[in-house]
Structure 1
Amino acid sequence: MNRWSRHRRTTSLLLGSVLTAVTVTACGGGAQGGSEPESVSEKEIRAALEKPTELTVWSWSGSLPDVAEAFEKKYPKVKIKVENVGTAAEQYTKLQNAIKAGKGAPDLATVEYSAIPQYALSGALVDLKRFGFDSLKDEFTPATWDSVNVGDGLYELPLNAGPMALFYNKKTFDKFDIAVPTTWDEYLEAGKKLQKADPEYFISADNGNAGLTESLIWSAGGRPFKADGEKITVDLQDAGSKKYAESYQKLLDAKVLSGVAGWSNEWFQGLADGKIATLTSGAWMAGILKGSVAKASGDWRVAPMPSYDGETTTSVNGGGSLAMTEQSDKKLAAAAFLRYVSAEEGADITQATGSFPARAKALAAEKFLGAEDEYFGGQEVNRVFADSLAAVGEGWQYLPYDVYAITIFNDKVGKAYTGEKTLQDGLNAWEQELLKYGKDQGFSVN
């Protein structure tokens, strides 16, 4: 599951018409309240594993079939049917359609952390406190645990994490005698130096990326989104958002960023030949580079993400796990598998595929932290990621329609990357559309 965020960034506009179903008036139990379901005991969960059961799981994860196979060997009465019904946008569309229809949803589904509020607030997901899983809090890092809690409910057990870091091409940096930047001001100067030396080289590439924007606002101290039940606040003019916009605008004005579209052939080629010299991204980017830019092995390194004003606060980009749907009529067995995936042997299987873990014990293991990564020149990159995860700023919230927010980002902010408007003007336009959409969905907006 080391590519959650990639799929999130490519979320299709086809979601727009479907997500209008996520209204306050549709909210039932879940985070909105309603009657409290009875809690169940560990004995009941274990007993369910002794009954013939088939669970359906929707997921695009490449490692989940292996996890399911291991679970079936341990609990042979339970069969796990993993269905890849599409990545991110496609799956979310089908899941939302099933929720609207009141039937057809799987027992469990991959839901990224950013999308949890959307489904939790509509009453579509099971609060895992029902199974006593809130007792597992100390098993996970604070940043990921915060991501799976919405209101008073717990809707997933964390599986992976996407702590932000700076991926940089050491070969390019050495060629042009560029020091690794520690602040965004230094990053700007590095970009200028690179462009002056050779106009074909850019410090990075960005033609508009909602997820990156959210993460950079987060690390700047911005908390533009707040959701409290039916009350929604959108403020992309708070101090942190403005700090981000002012800093990033300098990069755009200096034209040190390539306009090549992320995930395009040109983008991968730029990463391979070092002409795109850095990426500020979640830890999952390590797997992308290894898999898609293999010929650049040994050229890349990882450093802490640049800071604002010397602050060490970081943020997260991407990550997700499995959520249980209220439509499931096999909740006890589903709870057992969900826990196995995130808190037991299943998490070890996923970690072995390169997914950055969310479990505290994994991040405390010297074997994991000290692992030398050949692709990154033998660097102990996990230490950099772990330090970043420990420094994630508290209090970030996603909108309960963040999936929709991402789909319209480039419509409202995209012209800032071509110099047709300022970044702050773009963020202001995005804010107004998000407020309007929230109001249309029945939220009380501010």
Structure 2
Amino acid sequence: MAFVMLLATAACSGQDTRTTITVWSWEPSMGKLAQAFEAANPDVHVVVKDTSGYENLNTAIQDGYGLPDVAQIEYYALPQYAVSGQLRDLTSRVESYGSFYTPGTWSSVQLGGRMYGLPMDSGPMAFFYNDSVFRQAGVDPTAIRTWEDYYQAARKLKKIGVYIAADAGDASFFDAMIWLAGGRPFRTSSDGKTVTVDLKGDTGVSTFIEYWQKMMDEGLINTRLSTWSNGWKKALGDGTVASVFSGAWMPSMLLADIPGAAGQWRVGTIPTVDGSITNAETGGSALTMLNTTRKPEAAYRFIEYVCHDAEGIAARIDGGAFPADTATLESEAFLDKTTIRDSRGIQIAYFGGQKFNKVLAQAANNVSPDYQYLPFEVYARSDFRSTMGKAYKWESANQRRIIARKRYKAGMTDDDGNPVTVPDDPGPKVSLAGALASWQKDIKEYGANQGFTIQ
């Protein structure tokens, strides 16, 4: 009787005896995945935090508290955290999984033959565009095959007051475009100790910055809107920015961030320098386990469910994510999809009924190999903002001045009814080519200070 009463008292207390793990992820479907995982694993409670930005992870590591058990980390950043000992080595658990994933994603979670995560998605580049806006400008977006085609389309869009794209200085986009142009400015030796940095001498780099500088100089690119900012989302939603070059994971992000534009957007093949069949990647990420976790078994079970279990993968794909496993990538169900499931569970024909995954799967097949990131890429991309970012800031200030001057001459007023004022001249022009030297200098100095041999 006493034992039964003790059990009843414990039950009435409502104490949660489950193991709680914390997951940092920006994947829109992660909340739903956590619920499904808990249903199948009632002994584990998953707390999902929409925490992104490696500054947050670095701060938590430095402070020694507030760290997640599981973290979504992009492929470009994974080696930096692995080499510094922040990630749990999962080799003994996952070394037999190689054939399950595409070669590129599987190699991206490895360092020195050890595995530090499981691939979650991949990011072959594609051309996402607002079809109705292009048609309004008299442009057939399906005919855009080269960078010159894209430039001519941008000029026509400008005539109706639309920017073809927005770029306020995105290092991820910059790297991807260099890759797309055939550039290979970074090389790391097989032992990881020697790093080559040749931004100034690489032909792919010079090809892209000359092209993009022309686009900015002619006011065809909105340099005032940072990617993922509220202003950027609004511009994509209202059609004042008409396209995005992004990774194949973009469908879920478009649905989550710009739901009102459903039905207007389409997916096309990324234009290349000369129209040749090639591609690059941007983004793509893995789920990793932090070395500091005290709950490695529960953390690994969640990683396994999201990245390797058929049910978990299907849930992410249904929400618009792009697969890293070969079986899904080749399946008819995936290739024939015309809808994306939103957070309410409703299927949305975001791309107007287009079988968008067929375009994205072909994009994955076209990715050219051998592009290498720096083994301190997180730092390099952070420094991009303070070096290369000066060129974008100058363009942004100049664009604001040009727009204000036109409004002033037209006698327009601001939101408060006051006459429009023209900002001061931004001063001597800062070009992409001019800022490149500063970025290369900082990268080389940092690498040398971290103990790498730089050449």
Does residue 121 in structure 1 map to residue 130 in structure 2?
no
Alignment of 1:376 onto 2:340 = no
Match of 2:320 among 350, 354, 357: 354
What TM-score, normalized by structure 1, do the two folds share?
0.80
Alignment pair present for 1:427 and 2:432: no
Distance in 2 separating the partners of 1:91 and 1:414: 21
Secondary structure (helix, strand or coil) at the match of 1:82 reads: strand
Please report how far the alpha carbon of residue 55 of structure 1 lies from its aligned counterpart in structure 2 after TM superposition: 5.8
**SS of corresponding position for 1:346:** helix
**Aligned-partner residue type, residue 176 of structure 2:** S
How many residues matched?
Answer: 388
Which has more radius of gyration?
2
Q: Indicate yes or no: 2:279 matched with 1:279.
A: no
- Contact 2:125–2:246 (Cα < 8 Å) also in 1: yes
State the match for 2:332 in structure 1.
366
SS at match of 2:275: coil
Query: 1:287 & 1:351 partners in 2: Cα distance?
Result: 9
Q: Is the alpha carbon distance of 1:175 and 1:85 closer, same or farther for their aligned partners in structure 2, counting shifts above 3 Å?
A: closer
Output the CA distance in 1 between the equivalents of 2:35 and 2:353. 33
1:345-404 Cα deviation digits (max 9, x unpaired): 322222222222111111111111111242211111111111111211211222232222
Q: 3-state DSSP class of the match of 1:375?
A: coil
* 1:82 corresponds to: 47
**Matched residue, 2:203:** 239
Runs of 5+ unmatched residues, structure 2: 1-16, 340-348, 396-428
CA–CA separation in structure 2 for the residues paired with 1:346 and 1:424: 45
Distance 2:272 2:102 in 1: 22
- Distance in 2 separating the partners of 1:384 and 1:152: 33
How far apart, CA to CA, are the structure 1 residues paired with 2:71 and 2:173? 25
CA distance in 1 between counterparts of 2:113 and 2:58 reads: 26
Is the 2:79–2:111 Cα contact (8 Å) retained in structure 1? yes
Q: Find out whether 1:220 has 2:181 as its counterpart.
A: yes
Are the counterparts in 2 of residues 117 and 398 from structure 1 also a CA contact under 8 Å?
A: no
**Aligned counterpart, 1:25:** none
Query: How many Å separate the matches in 1 of 2:359 and 2:283?
Result: 17
Shift of 1:311: 2.3
How far 1:238 sits from its partner (Å)? 1.6
Alpha-carbon offset, residue 65 of structure 1: 4.2
Q: Could you say which residue in structure 1 is the equivalent of 2:374?
A: 399
Matched with 2:270 is: 305
**3-state SS of paired residue (1:298):** coil
After the TM superposition, which residues 166-181 of structure 1 pair with which residues of structure 2 at under 5 Å, given as runs?
166-180=127-141, 181=144
Decide whether the 8 Å contact of 1:85 with 1:91 is kept in 2.
Answer: no
Stretches of structure 1 lacking an aligned partner (at least 5 in a row): 1-51
Q: Aligned residue for 1:203?
A: 164
- Residue 214 of structure 1 aligns to which amino acid in structure 2? D
- State the AA in 2 paired with 1:408: D
Query: Which residue number corresponds to residue 224 of structure 2?
Result: 260
Kindly state the Cα deviation for residue 210 of structure 1 after the two structures are TM-superposed. 0.8
Spell out structure 1 runs of 4+ moving beyond 6 A: none
| Structure 2 residue matching 1:362: 3-state secondary structure | helix
Aligned CA RMSD, in angstroms, stands at 2.4
How far apart are 1:122 and its partner, in Å?
A: 0.9
Residue 341 and residue 289 in structure 1: after superposition, are their counterparts in 2 closer, same or farther (change >3 A)? closer
Relative contact order, CA 8 A, sep 6+: which one is greater?
1
Match of 2:350, SS? Answer: helix
Partner of 1:43: none
Q: Secondary structure of 1:130's match?
A: helix
Match of 1:409 among 384, 387, 390: 384
Alpha-carbon shift at residue 90 of structure 1 (Å)? 5.1
User: Aligned-pair distance for 1:187?
Assistant: 0.7
